[in-house]
Chain A
Amino acid sequence: QKEVEQNSGPLSVPEGAIASLNCTYSDRGSQSFFWYRQYSGKSPELIMSIYSNGDKEDGRFTAQLNKASQYVSLLIRDSQPSDSATYLCAVNRDSNYQLIWGAGTKLIIKP
């Protein structure tokens, strides 16, 4: 079992709909969680970070964390074609602050 798992996709979502991306992790001691967006051939850029159970909203993006079930989700409302990218989930496992990365989910927003 990988430490951080994501469905590789591609996940195809119509423009204007809600895109839901999921990530599960294996280490119950994980403390903080990150969603990065990566366009093809470009570097990852931070979308959201979360460390407390529940929801965290930033514009069209909502991160949801459930530590009991060991998953973190990213919701993108009113999806736009510019949201088409690969979304990487990263988990901070311990005080060493090494991030453990999922392989990413490719999201395609269809006009």
Chain B
Amino acid sequence: DADVTQTPRNRITKTGKRIMLECSQTKGHDRMYWYRQDPGLGLRLIYYSFDVKDINKGEISDGYSVSRQAQAKFSLSLESAIPNQTALYFCATSDSGSHLETQYFGPGTRLLVL
């Protein structure tokens, strides 16, 4: 079984709709991240959480919100989806106790906003 899972894997929605992307991990890591990836732009950080009670904005948090329901779960919401939020979304985790704190990625969610 995958250590970091994301649901759904693909989603098509309409402008103005609220949607939620979910991430779960069985790695026991304390830190979790949400990124989006657009062609030619690399990975951009939306939000990150260093523990259940710690939520931080990344470089592109506008239009997004998150919830850390438990150490293993981190959800990303688009309150009112717009077409330029069409992208590939990745969840990642890391262990603050490890030496170089490698980030491990989920399989991604491909989102299309019409």
Contact in complex: B105, A103 (CB < 8 Å)? no
- Taking CB atoms, residues of chain B closer than 8 Å to A99 are 45, 103
Interface size on A, residues (CB 8 A): 21
How many residue-residue contacts, CB under 8 A, span A and B?
Answer: 48
Interface residues of B in 84-100 (CB under 8 A from A): 88, 90, 94, 96, 100
- Report whether A97 and B94 are in contact in the complex, using a CB–CB cutoff of 8 Å: yes
- Is B101 part of the contact surface with A, judged by Cβ < 8 Å? yes
For the complex formed, measure the closest distance between the CB of A11 and the CB atoms of chain B, giving whole angstroms: 16
In the bound complex, residues from chain A placing their C-beta under 8 Å from that of B45 are: 98-99
Can you list 20 contacts pairing A with B, beta carbon distance less than 8 Å? A32-B101, A34-B100, A42-B107, A43-B105, A43-B106, A43-B107, A43-B108, A44-B90, A45-B105, A46-B102, A46-B104, A49-B100, A49-B102, A97-B31, A97-B96, A97-B101, A99-B45, A101-B43, A103-B40, A103-B42
- The 5 A-B residue pairs whose C-beta atoms are closest, nearest first, are A103-B42, A43-B105, A101-B43, A101-B42, A49-B100
Taking beta carbons and an 8 Å cutoff, which residues of B are in contact with A? 31, 40-45, 48, 58, 88, 90, 94, 96, 100-108, 110
